[in-house]
Amino acid sequence: MSHHTLLIGMKSVLALLLLLAFTPPIKAQTGERCFSETGFCISGRIREFWEQNGGLPVFGFPISPLQEELIEGQPFQVQWFERNRLELHPENRRPYDVLLGRLGVERLNAQGRDWFMFPKSVPQSGCRFFPETGHNVCGAFLSQWRANGLELDGRPGKTTAENLALFGLPLSGVIEETLSDGKVYQVQWFERVRLEFHPANPPSYQVLLGLLGNELRFPVASQPVSSPTPESGVVTGNAVAVREGPGSSYPEIGQLAQSSELDVVGQFNNCTWLKVRYRSQNLTGWIPGEQVALLKRCDAIPLGTFRPITGVFLREAQSDGKGELTIENGTDQDGVVILTVNNIPQLSAYVRSHDALTVSGITDGIYQIYFSTGSEWNGREFTVNASYRKFRDMLAFETRVSDDTITYTIWRITLHPVAGGTAATDNVGRDNFPGVGR
């Protein structure tokens, strides 16, 4: 059983000391290495990472120089390869100073496909089931998944963490798709890669990683047409700001000129905001729906994923309550907290990873506290690594006024287990988890 902080009427600070195991540095060549096949070179930390984690079979040849790009609205030095994109994160300690792009998710988004709509499965014999996404990995794909991974601990063999670091979680089951050579193959989508089964190849090369880097960086040009495809839209406004999320409070990451043709890959709040991809700038973000002429019905557009800012989603009507709740999220995933009375949501809030939020003026009453953690929020729930829990104890808020004195309840909760925590939590089925709104 894990325990979380549950404190009333006092302030305190609790900390967990994590023992970090460091592996000795591995000597590697960091000078420039060039490839005549594509005309690009790798060097420094990128070369070291590429050579130590699989080289050509895993990443393919470089198809760009090291250059600055916006990743989720933040500038990073990145280099594209045939099968993936390597990102330099000098703010992280080794080996996490180089991260792989989530090209499986990005490629599906570019195709206008909502991976969350892929049919879910149940555990199957001989397979590895991932409850986080509801998919199995079986057979040759499972062997490939287990045999490969990024080197994290410097020890022989591959751990589950190392497998996940390379592939990510499965986003689909095994499906048939037509690839760039015009042939139909069995494939399975993961967060970072697409695994493909090529039966005509020798056994050691029958399972390959798809060329997602090529597909995203050099999308196949469509035949010239006089109007956008049905999956597209046209910008009707002038100098329309593109934002990180669906709302004017999110940072601006670019601008679109009038008459720009877009791929519409997601929507929020009945198309009040649209998630769009502008291919010529490799720009994906959100713009107001009223600034786009759609050539498809709103209800045919899947919900788009984004990362909300820490804050309150839903707030009950104003009252005389003075209650105060502080939520601390010390996990590596973002979290949503929902307060309910008689199973009816009264307050819901989003708290980003390693962030905190204090909510004041909570109405007096007894509340059941639910929380979910994960990533890729779509306005209703997390679509990647989602977990659903509730605090076993209910929280009571009470405001008292006597003479010139006002007393009220202050609670502090943590979403992460802590040493000496006083609160127990229980798993909750997804179908029994309340929504963020009424």
Question: Is pLDDT above 50 for 102?
Answer: yes
CA angle 346, 432, 392 (to 5 degrees): 70
Burial class (CB in 10 A: 0-12, 13-18, 19+), 155: exposed
Q: How large is the average pLDDT for residues 235-255?
A: 90
The CA distance from 110 to 101, in Å, is 14
What pLDDT score was predicted for residue 420? 75
pLDDT confidence bin for 220, thresholds 50/70/90: low
Question: Is pLDDT above 80 for 231?
Answer: no
pLDDT confidence bin for 258, thresholds 50/70/90: confident
Instruction: Quote the mean pLDDT of the chain.
Output: 84
The CA distance from 396 to 389, in Å, is 19
Listed residue (263, 267, 309) closest to 290, CA to CA: 267
More confident residue, 24 or 332: 332
Answer yes or no: are the C-beta atoms of 301 and 314 closer than 8 Å. no
What pLDDT score was predicted for residue 411? 93
Judge if pTM exceeds 0.75.
no
What pLDDT score was predicted for residue 86? 95
The CA distance from 204 to 194, in Å, is 17
Q: What are the structure tokens assigned to 220, written together? A: 């196949």
What pLDDT score was predicted for residue 317? 52
Answer yes or no: are the C-beta atoms of 315 and 348 closer than 8 Å. no
What pLDDT score was predicted for residue 316? 60
**225 secondary structure, DSSP code:** -
Start-to-end Cα distance in the chain: 31
The CA distance from 385 to 398, in Å, is 36
What pLDDT score was predicted for residue 265? 84
What pLDDT score was predicted for residue 30? 54
What pLDDT score was predicted for residue 138? 93
Answer yes or no: are the C-beta atoms of 258 and 236 closer than 8 Å. yes
Answer yes or no: are the C-beta atoms of 261 and 294 closer than 8 Å. no
What pLDDT score was predicted for residue 225? 30
The CA distance from 94 to 153, in Å, is 10
Q: How large is the average pLDDT for residues 55-59?
A: 89
What pLDDT score was predicted for residue 71? 80
